[in-house]
Structure 1
């Protein structure tokens, strides 16, 4: 079962900006790319560097530690499905932004 985590208004990034958000013990990076919101774990799956601090080109974030590039919409390392950063759907309901997190037993 999934659950929606409300994002505080001050943590919702402005157009083409990013923000860090703590949710249930997870550090999430939120990105607003051309009006579309994306949420991923802030920790690079390679060696844990912050992805929020990386270079953003469109919807591709580059890890500042070793240059790995991830697609924000899928979480996958570009050109492969061998490495993935957890990503989460983002919903906007009546102006409130939510990150949708999978619960135990969710597929």
Structure 2
């Protein structure tokens, strides 16, 4: 049976639409995005070479890795060019005034 780890990582008011924020959950660096009111959470490491994605250029829901320009759709977690290349994503939701990230088995959900 898989166990889940839920953590409130910030207050909802700290992540307005269009903003992003780095948080730490059990030693993992996670980037939160508010895409026009829709929350997304990803591991802050590009699956290609481990570069930080926090400073990547965001074009709508597509995030570009600042190291090599690889594109990832935050709505699917995968690269539009190759569905085999995907980010590590995490379920995220707002509960009352908090933003909660969920990890399974202390790890990720892809």
Compute the TM-score of the two structures, normalised by the length of structure 2: 0.86
Say whether 1:65 aligns with 2:70.
no
Task: State the match for 2:79 in structure 1.
Answer: 77
Runs of 4+ in structure 1 over 4 Å off: none
State the 1:79 CA deviation: 3.2
Structure 1 unaligned runs (5+)? none
Q: Which moved more, 1:84-93 or 1:10-19?
A: 10-19
Task: State the match for 1:4 in structure 2.
Answer: 6
How far apart, CA to CA, are the structure 1 residues paired with 2:21 and 2:75? 16
Structure 2 unaligned runs (5+)? none
Task: State the match for 2:89 in structure 1.
Answer: 87
How far apart, CA to CA, are the structure 2 residues paired with 1:12 and 1:27? 17
Mapping of 1:1-107 within 5 angstroms? 1-9=3-11, 12-103=14-105
Deviations 1:4-42 (A, max 9, x none): 111122894221011111111110011111011100001
Compute the TM-score of the two structures, normalised by the length of structure 1: 0.88
Q: Pairwise CA RMSD of aligned residues?
A: 2.1
Would you say the 8 A contact 2:51–2:65 is kept in 1? Answer: yes
Would you say the 8 A contact 2:63–2:73 is kept in 1? Answer: yes
